[in-house]
Amino acid sequence: MSKKNNDYGIEKSLKNLGISKENKGVSSGGKYFAGGDLLESYSPTDGKLIAKIKTADADDYSKVIETAKAAFKEFRMIPSPKRGEMVRQFGLKLREYKDDLGKLVSYEMGKSLQEGLGEVQEMIDICDYAVGLSRQLHGYTMHSERPGHRMYEQYHPLGIVGIISAFNFPVAVWAWNTALSWICGNVTVWKPSEKTPLCAIACQNIINEVLKENNLPEGISTMIVGDHRIGELLVNDKNVALISFTGSTRVGRIVGKNVAERFGKSILELGGNNAIIITENADLDMSIIGAVFGAVGTAGQRCTSTRRLIIHDSVYDEVKNRLVKAYGQLKIGNPLDENNHVGPLIDQDAVKQYLDSIKKCKKEGGKFAVEGGLLEGANYESGCYVKPCIAEVENSYEIVQHETFAPILYLIKYSTLDEAIALQNDVPQGLSSAIMTQNLREAELFLSQSGSDCGIANVNIGTSGAEIGGAFGGEKETGGGRESGSDVWKYYMRRQTNTINYTTSLPLAQGIKFDL
């Protein structure tokens, strides 16, 4: 590196966030403890050990659940606007710690500093959204068929919400879930990714300040760092009413099945294989910007990363040539250096999957317009830096049907828009999609019932960068879950229908007579 990590203020940020060289990975009841194995967090930025974390065992898990259960009994009785006030104060704390937390996200996960700061801003935004929503958890009133009766619906808290988050968004996805859970009256138990545990400890430190200052039960927010065994305990625990899981489709199948077997609720945010259709009527300047950021942002490790470009044959060569030129201008290196566009992959396993995917693509017949490979040298000592690459392929290739969490962009040619939409939909995943066009008819067809089959469909923006105001999630092997905005709050509550009889008689529905 041209600069040491200390030059970017990492040590100061860790101190400000309450991160020491050795940490306990369980926060419950305001105390940190853990009786499990030792976990070491290394930065993919420079390969250095950031800190050690003592992880949880089964006994620790039991303590966390008991603390959460006790907190729920009190928290559910606090009026929702008052719960919103707690979330408002949490948002203010995040503003205070934004620079430090954004820097930690960048250093521990590897995304660019701008993306790290943006992730913390997402946390702030969802807090603002949840505060307003805390006064709008409305039900509906219906007309009864029986005279002198009133019917309405209301929503009640579920109880304990379990959140299992992934490394690529180590703080924002937790905030999406927990901010809504809190204003709905739930308490949360968070199992963060083992690849980014320090980000979770920092967040827990921040919310602990709010809980303490407001004399609120500290079990409202608990965190438990552990391996798959802790995840299995959470998923199979009947005390946990809802599991929100972000991760691979393979693990999501297991989570969904196990939660369903105990009649729990689940929100599944799984794999994506997102495409941008570039039509002959597209603004190519916009298209190139959207495609490049979508493909290389977070080093291709977003669930909404652009994996495929489906390009009209009349502009295919021009788009390819402009992409090649743009890729030649990318700066790859330390993500804390704001001059760099692309940081590292999360770890060596991710690098191996990236290299294996390139081999498979070539074996199936893919032709690389921009070659990939591992970057080596003094500036890439962690061994996690790779070259973003571009391959010309057929959509039917097995590797193209698979989600590779890395900066590999596939180019596919089409002739008609119906063909392009069919190619877009012809993958197992269904998260995000986009079309670049200045033709209204093309845009509306893409958004119609015969268009994109994804949970997110955009026009003239890329596949990546969802706002918190809309419901986030996808279809098919993406899991069908929704998080963040719109009416997603209903996922975190149980619906109840109430009928009130204010007469002196008891008429039955459907005109049934039952006289004694």
pLDDT exceeds cutoff 70 at 202: yes
What 8-state DSSP symbol labels residue 335? T
In angstroms, the CA 254 to CA 268 distance is 11
Residue 5's pLDDT is what?
A: 43
Q: What is the rounded average pLDDT of the residues 128-138?
A: 97
Secondary structure element (H or E) that encloses residue 98, with its range: helix 80-109
CB atoms within 10 A of CB 507: 16
Residue 460 near residue 483, CB atoms below 8 Å = no
Question: Can you tell me whether residue 312 is helix, strand or coil?
Answer: strand
In angstroms, the CA 351 to CA 357 distance is 10
Q: Tokens 């080093």: give the residue.
A: 299
pLDDT tens string 282-338: 999 999 999 999 999 999 999 999 999 999 999 999 999 999 999 999 999 999 999
Residue 372's pLDDT is what?
A: 97
Residue 290's pLDDT is what?
A: 96
Burial class (CB in 10 A: 0-12, 13-18, 19+), 205: buried
CA atoms within 13 A on the CB side of 336: 27
* Residue 384 appears among annotated catalytic residues: no
Band of residue 497 on the pLDDT scale cut at 50, 70, 90: very high
Given the residues 115, 119, 218, 269, the one annotated as active site: 269
pLDDT exceeds cutoff 50 at 3: no
Q: How far is CA 406 from CA 48, 139, 269, 467, in A?
A: 22, 43, 18, 23
Residue 514's pLDDT is what?
A: 81
pLDDT, mean over the chain: 96
Question: Could you write out the DSSP letters of every residue in 196-257?
Answer: SHHHHHHHHHHHHHHHHHTT--GGGEEEE---HHHHHHHHH-TTEEEEEEES-HHHHHHHHH
Kindly report the pTM of this predicted structure.
0.95
pLDDT tens string 417-445: 999 999 999 999 999 999 999 999 999 99
Given the residues 303, 361, 389, 454, the one annotated as active site: 303
pLDDT exceeds cutoff 50 at 1: no
In angstroms, the CA 345 to CA 298 distance is 8
pLDDT tens string 32-88: 999 999 999 999 999 999 999 999 999 999 999 999 999 999 999 999 999 999 999
pLDDT tens string 15-39: 999 999 999 999 998 889 999 999 9
Residue 7's pLDDT is what?
A: 66
> Token pair for residue 198?
């320090």
* Residue 303 appears among annotated catalytic residues: yes
Residue 181 near residue 162, CB atoms below 8 Å = no
State which amino acid sits at residue 516: L
